[in-house]
Structure 1
Amino acid sequence: MDVDGGGSKRFFNRLGGQQSDPSKNQKVCYHWRAGKCNRHPCPFLHRELPAPPSQQGFNGTASTKRHHAFAANTDGPSSRNRGPNNFNGGASSTWGRTGGANRVFVRKMEKVCNFWVQGNCSYGDKCKFLHSWSMGDSFSLLTQLEGHQKVVSGIALPSGSDKLYTGSKDQTVRVWDCASGQCMGVINLGGEVGCMISEGPWIFVGIPEAVKAWNTQTNSELSLSGPVGQVYAMVVGNDLLFAGTQDGSILAWKFNAVTNCFEPAASLIGHTLAVVSLVVGANRLYSGSMDNSIRVWSLETLQCIQTLTEHTAVVMSVLCWDQFLLSCSLDRQLKVWVATQSGNLEATYTHTEENGLITLCGMHDSEAKPVLLCACNDNTVRVYDLPSFSERGKIFSKQEIRSIQVGPGGLFFTGDGTGQVKVWKWTEPAAVTA
């Protein structure tokens, strides 16, 4: 008996049920949402439940926006730089799928599917989690280099060499053939690799109490003594090799071509805790430390000329870009510094992430536009356009990415806490036809 005079039936019809089946359960089918319901008839709804009647107008507007987001992400050349996270500024992260007569919308979570990683996800393209190590269509994964057993702490690509060198806290340096991607050799150092850089034909590896130096052209090997504790950061500037050490000092060596060795040149004292990041720019040396500060040193006098104390946690990475200094910290902040008329640096912009920041790497994409790669301690790398800081992609990993290195021809490399090195390449922009 229709006690409410047909009201329940009309409400049921608004929910999407068939008029001939008023007994259908008022619940959305879980299997339909996954795109694999095979029950005919199904006792549950094959459409999303709307909001309560008082919110019908708002819900209707939201539904329209969802369909527009799907169209913008799939149709026409204007969507070329819009990945699944809608980096053009939209809030929607909805992807659309077409299956039979019904259009199924799968909302992708910003999380890599664990079953996909293991090679046995049964949902395929309809999985709500990512089946990819990245989001965004500006770059792609070329290959993965397996071998290290612990975090990759340094990546180097010497000029004129066809070999890639990776250092790890598993106390080894691995040598990879750039053409085949095969490991050509393993060098056991007897100590954790804290950092690694290349300058010309030279490779420098920071380990506890020493810096190892190899010349890839002459195969000569040197050991630079002097550091106290682990060497965490190195950089070359003004014909000097600088090394940031665990005791807070920065040691400098100068190469003597006559004796074919590196001779101690100076020790820069000022930081009270370990120096973990170094960069050279504008005739200055910039050092980031576990004492939460950045010190600015003159390359001519090797004296500290300014100390920046705006960060509230370890300054993990410093980077020079154009006329600016960029710094990031475990305090979740990325700061942009610019020199005033007095010559001192001031923070002019602060970008805040949801998680602590580990390392910065600047490079250019396939269109020669400046891009910033920012590794966070939530196992991701954010990819930003500069100077706008508009997000254009994201890289995921099983553990934190501690090393990012730029290569030739649009290549770049990332090394994570599992010991895995990934090789990425910037993709060429799609041709736009009239």
Structure 2
Amino acid sequence: MDVDGNKRVFQRLGAPSTANPGDPSKQKVCYHWRAGKCTRYQCPFLHRELPPPTSNEGPGKRFAEHSGSQFYRKGSNKFNGGSNTWGRVHGTNNMPAAKKSEKLCNFWLQGKCAYGEGCRFLHSWSVGDSFSLLTQLESHQKVVTGIAFPSGSDKLYTGSKDESVRMWDCQSGQCTCVVNLGGEVGCMISEGPWLFVGLPNLVKAWNTQTSADLSLSGPVGQVYALVVGNSMLFAGTQDGSILAWKYNEATNNFDPAASLTGHSVAVISLVVGAKRLYSGSMDNTIRVWNLENLQCMQILTDHTSIVMSVLCWDQFLLSCSLDKTIKVWAGTESGNLEVTYTHTEDHGVLFLCGVHDSAGKPVLLCACNDNSVRVYDLPSFSERGKIFAKQEVRAIQPGPGGIFFTGDGTGQVRVWKWAESSVQQ
């Protein structure tokens, strides 16, 4: 992680308020400000977005169409139609946060910065006032690859490439149990009381209420992704296949149901939504599968590098890649998905997680391979803040009561909470 820097970048004021409003040159938005790197003082162009054209609908109506949107893993909505509100700032209260020096102080990381509060680099694990760090859970020795909070449980579970799953008491923040599995944890999810853990050539299934302990064989190589949909458990594996199991109540076991083939290399992300299964792969593609007959319906090829994560939100599919883009897909009249908006980052994007802030508004957390997590409002992609780590964040999980968790490459899990002041009108 680059923790040094040559200079600070300040948020400069744009064209002064005394500028002639009729002068067209004073009604242009600064290109460099939009990129977050304008250093001119005074800049002759605006450092704010121009207000939208006046219409009879009112400026907030189109955004209100999405105000009740929910992230989901299961759903019956159809992807249908695009949206021209992606990537736009909706209202003056959703302006991007002021840019500050966004490089962590290397000496602060080592606990020996002599400048203290006067240091020009960050002495904080985050930027933005929408959320705050509650505590840190330190015990894993390698990257955290899964975080789960089973329903009806007061325990948090974390999995890591150190070949262990750890159970944490949510009241004391103490690790109360360590299960050594003998293989790297590639992923972990919970569904109801069940906890599923992806391992090399195996999926472990634990029922946190009955203590049932099952081993699901069949995968070839590391299991990188797990998801539940249409009463089936799906696992994305190293050899490019997707295995499916169906729960058998009579035997209290999971029976093999299907093997979905088509990807040429590892499947590393799965999500279910709109009666479809979506799989992201190291072959740079996303495949769309019908959940009823498990047939591939469409192959999405717009990414130019590994598809790291896929996410469903409302009527849209979101995907991210090491090609430094987040793509938003919407359905056409023919039923196929097409890109309706592309958001570009400066670094490869590793993971997407959808949460809701303290006001219930949708927020997208995007982990990048510069050891940071970007926090964006949806659908505007206006920035709410950033989270920093010593190494890449590879696991993010929402929790109850406005809490969410991040796990990084050092094995550290951090607990964050949305602030009540994060409510935006």
TM-score category, normalised to shorter length: 0.7 to 0.9
Take 1:308 and 1:266, find their aligned partners in 2: how far apart are those partners?
22
Identity of aligned residues (%): 74
Q: Which residue of 2 aligns with 1:394?
A: 386
The one-letter amino acid paired with 2:42 is T
Instruction: Report whether the alignment pairs 1:342 with 2:334.
Output: yes
Helix, strand or coil at the partner of 2:117: helix
Q: Which residue of 2 aligns with 1:323?
A: 315
Take 1:304 and 1:190, find their aligned partners in 2: how far apart are those partners?
34
- Per-residue deviation, residues 247-304 of structure 1 (Å, max 9, x unmatched): 0000000010110100000000111110000000000000000000000000000000
CA contact (8 A) 2:357 2:422 kept: no
Q: Which residue of 1 aligns with 2:366?
A: 374
Instruction: Report whether the alignment pairs 1:174 with 2:181.
Output: no
Q: Which residue of 2 aligns with 1:88?
A: 95
Matching of residues 77-156 of structure 1 within 5 Å: 88-89=95-96, 93=99, 108-156=100-148
CA contact (8 A) 1:87 1:393 kept: no
CA change 1:141–1:234 in 2 (3 A) is same
CA contact (8 A) 1:166 1:173 kept: yes
The number of equivalent residue pairs is 340
Take 1:211 and 1:62, find their aligned partners in 2: how far apart are those partners?
57
With normalisation by structure 1, the TM-score equals: 0.76
The one-letter amino acid paired with 1:280 is V
Matching of residues 186-201 of structure 1 within 5 Å: 186-201=178-193
Greater RCO (Cα-Cα under 8 Å, separation 6 or more): 2
Q: Which residue of 2 aligns with 1:239?
A: 231
CA change 1:130–1:220 in 2 (3 A) is same
Take 2:177 and 2:337, find their aligned partners in 1: how far apart are those partners?
44
- Displacement after TM superposition at 1:206 (Å): 0.2
Helix, strand or coil at the partner of 1:348: strand
- Displacement after TM superposition at 1:120 (Å): 2.5
- Displacement after TM superposition at 1:62 (Å): 6.0
Take 1:197 and 1:237, find their aligned partners in 2: how far apart are those partners?
13
Take 1:403 and 1:272, find their aligned partners in 2: how far apart are those partners?
25
Take 2:95 and 2:334, find their aligned partners in 1: how far apart are those partners?
38
The one-letter amino acid paired with 1:278 is L
The one-letter amino acid paired with 1:387 is P
Root-mean-square deviation (Å): 2.0
Helix, strand or coil at the partner of 1:166: strand
CA change 1:89–1:178 in 2 (3 A) is closer
Structure 1 residue runs of 4+, over 6 Å off? Answer: none
CA change 1:342–1:59 in 2 (3 A) is closer
The runs of 5 or more residues in structure 1 that have no matched partner are 1-57, 67-85, 94-107
- Displacement after TM superposition at 1:87 (Å): 7.9
- Per-residue deviation, residues 37-77 of structure 1 (Å, max 9, x unmatched): xxxxxxxxxxxxxxxxxxxxx987369x99xxxxxxxxxxx
The runs of 5 or more residues in structure 2 that have no matched partner are 1-38, 48-92
Could you tell me which of 394, 401, 412 is aligned with 1:420? 412
- Displacement after TM superposition at 1:178 (Å): 0.5
Take 1:431 and 1:163, find their aligned partners in 2: how far apart are those partners?
28
Could you tell me which of 263, 285, 288 is aligned with 1:293? 285
CA contact (8 A) 1:286 1:295 kept: yes
Take 2:399 and 2:42, find their aligned partners in 1: how far apart are those partners?
46
Matching of residues 176-325 of structure 1 within 5 Å: 176-325=168-317
The one-letter amino acid paired with 1:142 is L
Take 1:61 and 1:115, find their aligned partners in 2: how far apart are those partners?
33
Take 2:339 and 2:129, find their aligned partners in 1: how far apart are those partners?
32
Helix, strand or coil at the partner of 1:115: helix
The one-letter amino acid paired with 1:156 is A
CA contact (8 A) 1:379 1:397 kept: yes
Matching of residues 6-45 of structure 1 within 5 Å: none
- Per-residue deviation, residues 380-434 of structure 1 (Å, max 9, x unmatched): 00000000001110000000000000101100000000000000000002799xx
The one-letter amino acid paired with 2:218 is G
Instruction: Report whether the alignment pairs 1:408 with 2:400.
Output: yes
- Per-residue deviation, residues 16-55 of structure 1 (Å, max 9, x unmatched): xxxxxxxxxxxxxxxxxxxxxxxxxxxxxxxxxxxxxxxx
CA contact (8 A) 1:159 1:199 kept: yes
Take 2:381 and 2:240, find their aligned partners in 1: how far apart are those partners?
32
Larger radius of gyration: 1
